[in-house]
Protein backbone atom coordinates (compact mmCIF):
# COMPACT_ATOMS: atom_id res chain seq x y z
CA UNK A 1 0.00 0.00 0.00
CA UNK A 2 2.95 2.30 0.61
CA UNK A 3 2.86 5.53 -1.38
CA UNK A 4 -0.19 4.48 -3.31
CA UNK A 5 -1.85 7.59 -4.67
CA UNK A 6 -5.29 8.42 -3.27
CA UNK A 7 -7.31 11.28 -4.72
CA UNK A 8 -9.13 13.60 -2.32
CA UNK A 9 -12.15 15.58 -3.46
CA UNK A 10 -13.42 18.41 -1.29
CA UNK A 11 -17.18 18.96 -0.96
CA UNK A 12 -17.45 21.33 2.04
CA UNK A 13 -18.46 24.38 0.04
CA UNK A 14 -21.27 22.36 -1.60
CA UNK A 15 -22.41 19.44 0.59
CA UNK A 16 -21.33 21.33 3.69
CA UNK A 17 -22.58 24.85 3.11
CA UNK A 18 -25.92 23.75 1.60
CA UNK A 19 -26.89 22.48 5.05
CA UNK A 20 -25.91 25.62 6.93
CA UNK A 21 -28.55 27.98 8.24
CA UNK A 22 -26.17 30.94 8.24
CA UNK A 23 -25.44 32.28 4.74
CA UNK A 24 -21.72 32.31 4.03
CA UNK A 25 -20.80 35.49 2.21
CA UNK A 26 -19.82 35.08 -1.43
CA UNK A 27 -16.42 36.62 -0.82
CA UNK A 28 -15.79 34.24 2.06
CA UNK A 29 -16.78 31.27 -0.11
CA UNK A 30 -14.40 32.42 -2.85
CA UNK A 31 -11.59 32.96 -0.35
CA UNK A 32 -12.13 29.49 1.12
CA UNK A 33 -12.14 27.77 -2.28
CA UNK A 34 -8.98 29.68 -3.23
CA UNK A 35 -7.38 28.58 0.00
CA UNK A 36 -8.41 24.97 -0.60
CA UNK A 37 -7.14 25.13 -4.18
CA UNK A 38 -3.62 25.50 -2.78
CA UNK A 39 -3.98 22.44 -0.54
CA UNK A 40 -3.39 19.71 -3.11
CA UNK A 41 -6.89 18.42 -3.79
CA UNK A 42 -7.60 16.42 -6.93
CA UNK A 43 -11.07 17.94 -7.19
CA UNK A 44 -13.18 20.59 -5.47
CA UNK A 45 -16.96 20.60 -5.66
CA UNK A 46 -17.37 24.34 -5.54
CA UNK A 47 -21.12 24.86 -5.41
CA UNK A 48 -24.48 23.67 -6.67
CA UNK A 49 -26.48 25.01 -9.59
CA UNK A 50 -29.81 24.15 -8.04
CA UNK A 51 -32.69 26.54 -7.71
CA UNK A 52 -31.81 29.43 -5.37
CA UNK A 53 -35.24 28.91 -3.83
CA UNK A 54 -34.48 25.27 -3.04
CA UNK A 55 -31.01 25.93 -1.65
CA UNK A 56 -30.68 29.62 -0.77
CA UNK A 57 -27.32 28.92 0.90
CA UNK A 58 -25.83 28.41 -2.58
CA UNK A 59 -27.78 31.09 -4.44
CA UNK A 60 -24.49 32.74 -5.40
CA UNK A 61 -23.23 29.80 -7.49
CA UNK A 62 -22.31 31.88 -10.55
CA UNK A 63 -20.56 34.57 -8.53
CA UNK A 64 -18.51 32.00 -6.68
CA UNK A 65 -17.53 30.10 -9.83
CA UNK A 66 -16.56 33.34 -11.56
CA UNK A 67 -14.70 34.63 -8.49
CA UNK A 68 -12.38 31.74 -7.72
CA UNK A 69 -8.85 31.42 -9.08
CA UNK A 70 -8.39 28.08 -10.83
CA UNK A 71 -5.32 26.05 -9.95
CA UNK A 72 -3.76 23.75 -12.48
CA UNK A 73 -4.24 20.13 -11.49
CA UNK A 74 -7.48 20.79 -9.61
CA UNK A 75 -10.75 19.74 -11.24
CA UNK A 76 -13.51 22.21 -10.40
CA UNK A 77 -16.84 20.44 -10.33
CA UNK A 78 -20.37 21.60 -9.45
CA UNK A 79 -23.61 19.86 -8.63
CA UNK A 80 -26.17 20.07 -11.42
CA UNK A 81 -29.72 18.73 -11.06
CA UNK A 82 -31.18 19.56 -14.47
CA UNK A 83 -30.77 21.25 -17.87
CA UNK A 84 -31.18 24.71 -16.41
CA UNK A 85 -28.45 23.99 -13.87
CA UNK A 86 -26.22 22.53 -16.56
CA UNK A 87 -26.56 25.64 -18.71
CA UNK A 88 -25.71 27.86 -15.76
CA UNK A 89 -22.72 25.66 -14.89
CA UNK A 90 -21.42 25.54 -18.46
CA UNK A 91 -21.66 29.32 -18.70
CA UNK A 92 -19.18 29.46 -15.78
CA UNK A 93 -16.63 27.23 -17.46
CA UNK A 94 -16.69 24.38 -14.96
CA UNK A 95 -14.38 21.40 -15.53
CA UNK A 96 -17.02 18.87 -14.59
CA UNK A 97 -20.71 18.64 -13.81
CA UNK A 98 -21.83 16.31 -11.06
CA UNK A 99 -25.33 14.98 -11.72
CA UNK A 100 -27.37 13.42 -8.95
CA UNK A 101 -30.13 10.91 -8.43
CA UNK A 102 -30.93 8.32 -5.80
CA UNK A 103 -30.76 4.55 -6.17
CA UNK A 104 -33.71 4.46 -3.77
CA UNK A 105 -37.06 5.31 -5.33
CA UNK A 106 -38.38 6.73 -2.06
CA UNK A 107 -35.36 8.92 -1.50
CA UNK A 108 -35.40 10.17 -5.08
CA UNK A 109 -39.06 11.12 -4.75
CA UNK A 110 -38.44 12.80 -1.40
CA UNK A 111 -35.26 14.56 -2.36
CA UNK A 112 -35.80 15.36 -6.03
CA UNK A 113 -39.60 15.25 -6.24
CA UNK A 114 -39.69 12.82 -9.15
CA UNK A 115 -39.39 9.13 -9.87
CA UNK A 116 -36.03 7.60 -10.63
CA UNK A 117 -37.08 7.09 -14.26
CA UNK A 118 -38.00 10.76 -14.51
CA UNK A 119 -34.63 11.66 -13.00
CA UNK A 120 -32.77 9.39 -15.38
CA UNK A 121 -34.60 10.81 -18.38
CA UNK A 122 -33.81 14.34 -17.25
CA UNK A 123 -30.18 13.57 -16.55
CA UNK A 124 -29.84 11.87 -19.93
CA UNK A 125 -30.89 15.15 -21.49
CA UNK A 126 -28.29 16.96 -19.41
CA UNK A 127 -25.64 14.46 -20.49
CA UNK A 128 -26.64 15.08 -24.10
CA UNK A 129 -26.05 18.80 -23.71
CA UNK A 130 -22.80 18.52 -21.75
CA UNK A 131 -21.35 15.92 -24.12
CA UNK A 132 -21.30 18.61 -26.81
CA UNK A 133 -18.63 20.33 -24.72
CA UNK A 134 -15.33 19.14 -23.25
CA UNK A 135 -16.75 19.26 -19.75
CA UNK A 136 -16.53 15.97 -17.86
CA UNK A 137 -19.64 14.30 -16.45
CA UNK A 138 -19.89 12.55 -13.10
CA UNK A 139 -23.03 11.01 -11.66
CA UNK A 140 -23.53 10.82 -7.91
CA UNK A 141 -25.79 7.95 -6.93
CA UNK A 142 -27.36 8.82 -3.59
CA UNK A 143 -28.41 6.24 -0.99
CA UNK A 144 -26.26 3.64 -2.77
CA UNK A 145 -25.55 1.87 0.51
CA UNK A 146 -28.84 2.29 2.28
CA UNK A 147 -31.97 4.43 2.24
CA UNK A 148 -33.35 5.99 5.42
CA UNK A 149 -36.86 5.07 4.25
CA UNK A 150 -36.38 1.79 2.38
CA UNK A 151 -33.46 0.40 4.36
CA UNK A 152 -31.23 -1.99 2.44
CA UNK A 153 -30.49 -1.17 -1.19
CA UNK A 154 -29.87 -4.17 -3.38
CA UNK A 155 -26.33 -4.03 -4.73
CA UNK A 156 -27.56 -5.18 -8.13
CA UNK A 157 -29.74 -2.04 -8.24
CA UNK A 158 -26.65 0.12 -7.72
CA UNK A 159 -24.76 -1.70 -10.44
CA UNK A 160 -27.79 -1.44 -12.75
CA UNK A 161 -27.88 2.34 -12.44
CA UNK A 162 -24.12 2.53 -12.90
CA UNK A 163 -24.56 0.51 -16.09
CA UNK A 164 -27.26 2.81 -17.44
CA UNK A 165 -25.12 5.87 -16.86
CA UNK A 166 -21.98 4.18 -18.17
CA UNK A 167 -23.94 3.44 -21.34
CA UNK A 168 -24.62 7.18 -21.65
CA UNK A 169 -20.87 7.79 -21.63
CA UNK A 170 -20.36 9.49 -18.29
CA UNK A 171 -16.77 9.87 -17.10
CA UNK A 172 -17.27 8.98 -13.47
CA UNK A 173 -19.71 7.68 -10.88
CA UNK A 174 -19.80 8.47 -7.18
CA UNK A 175 -21.35 5.96 -4.83
CA UNK A 176 -22.86 8.02 -2.02
CA UNK A 177 -23.59 6.83 1.48
CA UNK A 178 -25.98 9.73 1.84
CA UNK A 179 -27.15 9.12 5.39
CA UNK A 180 -24.27 7.11 6.83
CA UNK A 181 -25.77 3.65 6.50
CA UNK A 182 -22.82 1.89 4.86
CA UNK A 183 -20.84 -0.70 6.77
CA UNK A 184 -17.42 -2.14 5.94
CA UNK A 185 -18.24 -5.58 4.54
CA UNK A 186 -20.97 -4.09 2.38
CA UNK A 187 -18.62 -1.39 1.11
CA UNK A 188 -15.96 -3.97 0.30
CA UNK A 189 -18.39 -6.13 -1.69
CA UNK A 190 -19.97 -3.24 -3.58
CA UNK A 191 -16.65 -1.59 -4.44
CA UNK A 192 -15.09 -4.83 -5.61
CA UNK A 193 -17.99 -5.57 -7.94
CA UNK A 194 -18.24 -1.99 -9.18
CA UNK A 195 -14.52 -1.83 -9.99
CA UNK A 196 -14.62 -5.20 -11.73
CA UNK A 197 -17.69 -4.35 -13.78
CA UNK A 198 -16.78 -0.75 -14.70
CA UNK A 199 -12.99 -0.51 -14.96
CA UNK A 200 -13.32 2.41 -17.35
CA UNK A 201 -15.28 4.62 -14.90
CA UNK A 202 -13.64 7.02 -12.47
CA UNK A 203 -15.15 5.68 -9.27
CA UNK A 204 -15.51 7.86 -6.16
CA UNK A 205 -16.75 6.87 -2.72
CA UNK A 206 -18.69 9.45 -0.74
CA UNK A 207 -19.12 8.60 2.92
CA UNK A 208 -21.00 10.31 5.70
CA UNK A 209 -19.97 9.77 9.31
CA UNK A 210 -23.52 9.77 10.65
CA UNK A 211 -22.99 6.56 12.61
CA UNK A 212 -19.23 6.89 13.12
CA UNK A 213 -18.24 4.41 10.39
CA UNK A 214 -16.87 6.72 7.68
CA UNK A 215 -13.17 6.00 8.20
CA UNK A 216 -13.79 2.28 8.71
CA UNK A 217 -15.74 2.26 5.45
CA UNK A 218 -12.89 4.14 3.79
CA UNK A 219 -10.51 1.42 4.92
CA UNK A 220 -12.84 -1.20 3.45
CA UNK A 221 -13.07 0.70 0.16
CA UNK A 222 -9.29 1.08 -0.03
CA UNK A 223 -8.97 -2.64 0.51
CA UNK A 224 -11.26 -3.22 -2.46
CA UNK A 225 -9.11 -0.96 -4.64
CA UNK A 226 -10.88 2.40 -4.45
CA UNK A 227 -8.50 5.37 -4.71
CA UNK A 228 -10.82 8.39 -4.83
CA UNK A 229 -12.89 9.85 -2.00
CA UNK A 230 -15.16 12.79 -1.38
CA UNK A 231 -14.68 14.46 1.98
CA UNK A 232 -15.76 17.64 3.71
CA UNK A 233 -13.49 20.05 5.53
CA UNK A 234 -14.23 20.05 9.25
CA UNK A 235 -16.73 17.24 8.69
CA UNK A 236 -19.39 19.71 7.57
CA UNK A 237 -22.55 18.40 5.94
CA UNK A 238 -25.48 17.40 8.03
CA UNK A 239 -28.02 14.70 7.53
CA UNK A 240 -31.64 15.80 7.79
CA UNK A 241 -32.57 12.38 9.18
CA UNK A 242 -30.13 12.67 12.05
CA UNK A 243 -30.23 16.14 13.58
CA UNK A 244 -27.05 16.84 15.52
CA UNK A 245 -25.18 13.88 14.06
CA UNK A 246 -21.90 14.41 12.25
CA UNK A 247 -21.83 15.04 8.52
CA UNK A 248 -19.60 13.96 5.66
CA UNK A 249 -16.37 12.19 6.42
CA UNK A 250 -14.02 14.91 7.66
CA UNK A 251 -11.31 15.72 5.11
CA UNK A 252 -8.54 16.37 7.61
CA UNK A 253 -9.31 13.14 9.48
CA UNK A 254 -9.39 11.19 6.22
CA UNK A 255 -6.09 12.65 5.00
CA UNK A 256 -4.51 12.19 8.44
CA UNK A 257 -5.38 8.49 8.48
CA UNK A 258 -4.39 7.91 4.86
CA UNK A 259 -1.01 9.57 5.26
CA UNK A 260 -0.28 7.59 8.44
CA UNK A 261 -1.17 4.43 6.55
CA UNK A 262 1.36 5.32 3.87
CA UNK A 263 -0.92 6.61 1.13
CA UNK A 264 0.03 9.65 -0.89
CA UNK A 265 -2.84 12.14 -1.00
CA UNK A 266 -0.73 15.15 -2.06
CA UNK A 267 -2.86 17.15 0.37
CA UNK A 268 -1.15 19.55 2.79
CA UNK A 269 -2.63 18.56 6.14
CA UNK A 270 -1.31 21.58 8.03
CA UNK A 271 -2.99 23.93 5.56
CA UNK A 272 -6.14 21.87 5.74
CA UNK A 273 -6.30 22.14 9.52
CA UNK A 274 -5.70 25.84 9.33
CA UNK A 275 -8.55 26.22 6.80
CA UNK A 276 -10.80 24.02 8.92
CA UNK A 277 -10.08 26.23 11.89
CA UNK A 278 -11.52 29.16 9.95
CA UNK A 279 -14.89 27.45 9.43
CA UNK A 280 -16.58 28.15 12.79
CA UNK A 281 -16.30 31.88 12.16
CA UNK A 282 -17.91 31.44 8.73
CA UNK A 283 -20.82 29.23 9.76
CA UNK A 284 -21.37 30.38 13.31
CA UNK A 285 -20.83 27.08 15.08
CA UNK A 286 -18.29 24.41 15.95
CA UNK A 287 -17.40 21.74 13.37
CA UNK A 288 -17.48 17.96 13.96
CA UNK A 289 -13.75 17.51 13.21
CA UNK A 290 -12.06 15.71 16.09
CA UNK A 291 -8.63 16.21 14.57
CA UNK A 292 -9.07 19.96 14.79
CA UNK A 293 -9.49 19.60 18.56
CA UNK A 294 -6.91 16.87 19.13
CA UNK A 295 -4.21 17.91 16.68
CA UNK A 296 -2.25 15.56 14.48
CA UNK A 297 -0.69 12.41 15.85
CA UNK A 298 2.69 14.05 15.29
CA UNK A 299 1.81 17.15 17.35
CA UNK A 300 3.63 16.15 20.52
CA UNK A 301 3.17 17.58 24.00
CA UNK A 302 5.85 18.52 26.48
CA UNK A 303 6.12 16.69 29.77
CA UNK A 304 4.95 18.56 32.83
CA UNK A 305 7.68 20.15 34.96
CA UNK A 306 9.84 17.46 36.53
CA UNK A 307 11.20 17.45 40.06
CA UNK A 308 14.76 16.43 40.93
CA UNK A 309 13.96 12.75 40.85
CA UNK A 310 12.81 12.99 37.24
CA UNK A 311 9.15 12.66 38.23
CA UNK A 312 6.46 15.24 37.58
CA UNK A 313 5.95 17.69 40.43
CA UNK A 314 2.24 17.06 40.32
CA UNK A 315 0.20 14.12 39.25
CA UNK A 316 -0.83 15.56 35.94
CA UNK A 317 -3.23 12.93 34.73
CA UNK A 318 -5.17 10.46 36.75
CA UNK A 319 -4.34 6.94 35.64
CA UNK A 320 -5.51 7.22 32.08
CA UNK A 321 -5.33 3.95 30.19
Cβ neighbour number for residue 185 with a 10 Å cutoff:
10
Query: Minimum Å distance from CB 313 to its own copies?
Result: 10
Nearer to its own copies, 189 or 196 (CB): 189
Query: Minimum Å distance from CB 298 to its own copies?
Result: 7
Which H, E and C letters describe 248-262, residue by residue? Answer: ECEHHHHHHHHHHCC
Nearer to its own copies, 38 or 270 (CB): 270
Query: Minimum Å distance from CB 247 to its own copies?
Result: 10
Query: Minimum Å distance from CB 253 to its own copies?
Result: 4
Cα of 99 vs its chain's centroid, Å: 14
Nearer to its own copies, 42 or 175 (CB): 175
Cα of 153 vs its chain's centroid, Å: 21
Nearer to its own copies, 34 or 62 (CB): 62
- Is the Cα torsion angle 123, 124, 125, 126 positive or negative in sign? positive
Residue from 39, 92, 188, 239 carrying the catalytic annotation: 239
Nearest to 162 by CA among 183, 182, 190: 190
- Give the CA radius of gyration of the chain: 20
Query: Minimum Å distance from CB 69 to its own copies?
Result: 26
- Is 239 an active-site residue? yes
Nearer to its own copies, 37 or 289 (CB): 289
Cβ neighbour number for residue 25 with a 10 Å cutoff:
11
Task: Give catalytic residue positions.
Answer: 239
Amino acid sequence: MKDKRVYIQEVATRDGFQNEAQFVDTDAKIALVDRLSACGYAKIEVTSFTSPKAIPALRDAEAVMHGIKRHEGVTYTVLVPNIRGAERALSCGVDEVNLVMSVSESHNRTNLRMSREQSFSQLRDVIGVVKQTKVAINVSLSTAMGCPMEGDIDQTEVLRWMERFAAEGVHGVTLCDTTGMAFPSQVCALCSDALAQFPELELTLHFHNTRGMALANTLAALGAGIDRFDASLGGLGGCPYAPGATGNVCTEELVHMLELDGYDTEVNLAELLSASGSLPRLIGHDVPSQLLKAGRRSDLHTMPCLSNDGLPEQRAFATGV
